Amino acid sequence: MADLVSYVIRKLILAIPVILLATLIVFLMLYMTGDPINVLAPPHASVEQMDALREKYGLDEPFYVQYGVFLWNLVHGDLGVSVGAATRDLEVGDLVVQRLPRTLELMAIGLSLSYSIGIPLGIFSALRHNSLGDRSVMVFTLLAYAMPSFWLGILFMWLFAVYLGVLPLGGTTGGFASIILPAMTLGIGNAALTTRMMRSSMLEVIRQDYITQLRSRGLPEREIIYKHAVKNAILPVITVIGLDIGWFVAGSVVVETVFSWPGIGMLITTSISNSDFPVVRGCILVLALFVIAGNLIADVLYAYVDPRVRLG
């Protein structure tokens, strides 16, 4: 256990430069958008007014000072203030925190959906290797993977909300029914990947000697598959759950926009169209932290399952 703890600590230290890169990228991002004074200042502002605003927001400082101030504020939980018309001077941190539960909710349901589709489908496919069923599943995964999430979302919307009229079109007013379509859209692409991983992992396991040995001992096939094979085959699939967070983070931006789901992703899109870049920066930074955390989880899970990793 001690080696696992030291492994986690080592990984945490290694995450620091990654977090710094994330902050640098989002900082550069805002820096590249040009002089924010054009958004901040009222039309026909005088030069003095503009200078005053520049000083207020620290825009008269050189690049590295601005980045330093940004980092310093960040460490103190200050992500800056919004410059959008509707949310002028509101704390970016507050705006993000407000939206955070929605995104987490969507990601959690999408993630559970993708696993509850992907794992059974992968097992099914592996057990009927090369059958018609297996081939159909493979075609499904190919299609699901090739489908950009916004297009899948639009199709779902058309089918379930417009044509069948059984689920709400978007927003959050429909209660739990509202989250079904966005979560499904978000989950299916990952379900395809999970299916493939589960299938190949299962195929590998059921060809191993110990499975043959169990068979020769006359154990019922059900028991062999579900008690022994699945248990081993599922491990590599579960350990990458942390990496899936990256997929979901990226997907949530698009899916939330399609379904007007008021999470961080949609905040990014609306803020981009309002040229409210401090908010975009805050949101992307928070999503990046999610990804980093997800990678950490993946590393730790992997090390937990496979001791060779943490000792190596």
Provide the binding-site residues for another protein, judged by CB under 8 A: 17-18, 21-22, 25-26, 28-30, 32-33, 142-143, 145-151, 154-155, 157-158, 162, 193, 197, 200, 240, 243, 246-247, 249-251, 253-254, 257-258, 268-269, 272-273, 277, 280, 284, 287-288, 291-292, 295
Q: Which two tokens stand for residue 19?
A: 């977090």
Distance CA 55, CA 53 (A): 5
The residues, ordered by sequence, that sit 6+ positions from 79 with a Cβ below 8 Å of its Cβ are 73, 91, 92, 93, 96, 278, 281, 282, 285
| β-pair partners for 91 | 81
In angstroms, give the least distance from the CB of 275 to another protein: 10
The candidate with the shortest Cα–Cα distance to 248, out of 270, 263, 236, is: 263
Closer residue to another protein in complex, CB, 177/293: 293
CB of 62 to another protein, least distance (A): 19
Q: How far is the CB of 69 from another protein (least distance, A)?
A: 19
Which amino acid belongs to residue 205? V
Indicate the residue among 124 and 150 with the shorter CB distance to another protein.
150
Phi first, then psi: give them for residue 284, nearest 5 degrees. Answer: -65, -35
SS3 category, 91: strand
Nearest approach in angstroms of CB 213 to another protein is 26
Least Å distance, CB 34 to another protein, is 9
CA distance 226 to 214: 12
1 or 32: CB nearest another protein: 32
Nearer to another protein, 137 or 157 (CB): 157
Residue type, 45: A
